[in-house]
Structure 1
Amino acid sequence: MKTLPWSYIARNLWVRRVTTLLTAGGMALVVYVFATVLMMSEGIRATLVATGQPDNVIVLRKGAGAEINSLISRDQAAVIESLPGMATDGDGRRLVSREPVVLNTLPKRASGKPSNVTVRGTSLSGLALRPQVHFVQGRMFRPGTSEIVTGRAVASGFAGAGLGETLRFAGRDWTVVGVFDAGGSGFDSEIWGDADQMMQAFRRQVFSSMVFRLADPSAFDELKASIEKDPRLTLEAKPERQFYAEQSEALATFIRILGLSLSIIFSVGAIVGAMITMFASVASRVGEIGTLRALGFRRGAVLSAFMAESLLLSLVGGVMGLAAASLMQTVNISTVNFQTFSELAFQFRLTPGIVVQTLVFALVMGLLGGFVPAWRAARLKIVDCLREA
């Protein structure tokens, strides 16, 4: 079966370039929404996954979905610290950190509106357990003092959280002595201070979580089993990266479902627009279709040509929408994490998988919008076409 050349198909779109651009623009808007939603979901997931280290283990109360819901007593913490298999630093000290985690409400710099921020009590060992954290301003807080350090997103987004400024919470003033960059992870949205001082200030008798590094990551299953079997412990251990990946599921899933629902609704309009454009193309080229059929091109060739034209139109719209969506990678935004109820700063993230999904989505719109007009064009009779011409 003879097929029509791609140059013929592309030329037909160029001849009607105004209509083509308007239709492609409508598709591009839908594709932009679709891609942006996927990029937002992926950005949240990547931010929280990057928060965990592959050889770190986090311990929480059984059934606790987040650190703020977890309780670990001092006796339980002592038992955890005595477990074998923990890595040590250069001085032979175990790399383990007892950490209270609480929420504190602070005003935003731009609007003055309050928002929850995660406040973490930690230590020098806690800093050593997070190699992605490095200071861009100032220094680490001194143990036993009311000094704090703030993540990059907190320092720029909240009043009083910048270097040298003072925050008041838990009944005392805290001086910001450092601002750290956590490599785009969730720690960028946290405030850190000395664990013992935080316990005193917030009048807490228990810790929220414990983090430690394994000397041999393959020994995790054995360590987890020993924690679960110990009757003194009502705790569970998870790889830190797995824990933070689970933290992203609720929010990322909600955004994905909401965004995809809107994209599907908007795509109906784009499909109708493509269908109208292709019907107009068929109506204006009846004589041309008759000529092609008279020259020996079968119905299948006509059907394929009009379908290819619709798919090419949708591909143009898909590329336009994807190009616009890719610019969102330069935008930093924040939202509330459903698991912790605290603010989480993140960036949109475009991956090869999202590019493929977006272009497939655009082509599906073109397929649905172009099939009926292409079928009509293929079913036209030669005699009728030549008579109308």
Structure 2
Amino acid sequence: MKIPFSYIARNLWARRLTTVLTAGGLALVVFVFATVLMLDEGLRTTLVTTGEYDNVVLIRRAAETEVQSGVERRQASIAGSHAALALGADGSPLLSKETVVLISLVKRGSDKPSNVVIRGIGRQGMALRPQVKLTQGRMFRPGASEIIAGASIARRFAGAGIGETLRFGQREWTVVGLFDAGNSGFDSEIWGDAEQLMQAFRRNAYSSVIARLNDGKRFEAFKQEIEADPRLTLEAKREQVFYSDQSRALSNFISILGMVLSVIFSIGAMIGATITMYASVANRVGEIGTLRALGFQRRSILAAFLAEAMLLAVLGGAAGLFFASFMQFISFSTTNFQSFAELAFGFRLNPAIVLKTLVFSLLMGFVGGFLPALRAARMQIVDALRAA
């Protein structure tokens, strides 16, 4: 015979205070576990959506970021004449020769400075990023000391709002527009005319060349041809892969720190669940003896107490996941370990994280409830009834 599930649920309801306290401890652990996964997913999504699948990033060989890279004008022209590149409406190759530098800006309401990416783009720079849309003002004029700022930058940094001015590269730059990059990494950048920015920062080489292939499936052939060309010292990467790699160090740090905290907290939560279930077994000795006398086998007792512990874990897991879901409305910024610039991103919850979180809570319930359930199953009928 199997013990009915309703009986198991009523036992938790009969000990409401203990159930709430234990489930609360489990919920805290699940909350930490879920938010770590959501943070990692938010970072990955932000940087992956920064790139387009058919776009290619050309940087100096062995350079990991655009800040470290340098592409000579001659090499940029050679790469830009490749037959695999898509053509724009005017018949010219769809590419943007870009320069990327870091500057230090002060945050609004604070004297704390932080690094911000300044990106000089070419005439086709916006066309290569369809996720980037101007939301206020206008586009900067080529040849002018004008810039447009990402929405995230405009909110957080002094002088980055529309109509305001920033001083860098020995010039005053006027913010003439704001853009929304769809929560991608470009939201944390300021854009201007590449040639003007190169003059301001006294550079004679681009940082990268962004181009679109006329057929994304030809990427491997394009990559081999570019990297085998003796005139070039360039490396080709898909734009999505390039930006995804930028998150690797920060993502690993978040994952390791989060998992360490989750393990420490989960040990405490499992100990708490074990103590709760041991107390439950001690208070229900007579009940266990009666169940055995009625014909319920040891494995049914084991399954019932184990199911009780796992049901308790599911309740705690659902509560922790519920509160973690509100973190999606929070965004913050941190330093990208690859570029050393500030990057804004938020928490992201998806079905895979929900599934992992619930499995994690069930695992805690199983580990915390197994020994008490085993103790209950091993009780002798006579000893249990005598103790009652």
**Amino-acid identity (%):** 62
Deviation string for 1:100-138 (max 9, x for gaps)? 101110011143310000100002301110000001111
SS at match of 2:364: helix
| Aligned residues: CA RMSD | 0.8
1:255 equivalent in alignment to 2:254: yes
Aligned to 1:68: 67
SS at match of 2:337: coil
Does the 8 Å contact 2:81/2:93 carry over to 1?
no
- Distance, in Å, in 2 between the alignment partners of 1:376 and 1:181 is 60
- Distance, in Å, in 2 between the alignment partners of 1:8 and 1:371 is 19
SS at match of 1:128: coil
SS at match of 2:124: helix
- Distance, in Å, in 1 between the alignment partners of 2:367 and 2:81 is 63
Aligned to 1:163: 162
Deviation string for 1:150-200 (max 9, x for gaps)? 001101011110110111111111000000000010000000000001001
- Distance, in Å, in 1 between the alignment partners of 2:108 and 2:135 is 20
- Distance, in Å, in 2 between the alignment partners of 1:124 and 1:285 is 77
User: 1:63 corresponds to which letter in structure 2?
Assistant: A
Deviation string for 1:261-295 (max 9, x for gaps)? 11101111100110111011101100000000000
The 5 Å alignment of 1:1-389 reads 2-389=1-388
The offset of 1:57, in angstroms, is 0.6
User: 1:223 corresponds to which letter in structure 2?
Assistant: F
Deviation string for 1:294-339 (max 9, x for gaps)? 0000110000000000000000000000011110000011111111
TM-score w.r.t. the length of structure 2 is 0.99
SS at match of 1:179: strand
Moved over 2 A (4+): none
Please identify, of 236-245 and 104-113, the stretch whose mean Cα deviation from structure 2 is larger: 104-113
- Distance, in Å, in 1 between the alignment partners of 2:140 and 2:286 is 81
User: 2:369 corresponds to which letter in structure 1?
Assistant: G
- Distance, in Å, in 1 between the alignment partners of 2:94 and 2:236 is 16
Unaligned 5+ runs, structure 1? none
- Distance, in Å, in 2 between the alignment partners of 1:110 and 1:14 is 51
The offset of 1:94, in angstroms, is 1.6
Does the 8 Å contact 2:120/2:195 carry over to 1?
yes
SS at match of 1:377: helix
SS at match of 1:320: helix
Deviation string for 1:54-96 (max 9, x for gaps)? 1111100111111101110111111111111211221212211
SS at match of 2:115: strand
Unaligned 5+ runs, structure 2? none
Deviation string for 1:36-57 (max 9, x for gaps)? 0010001000000000001111
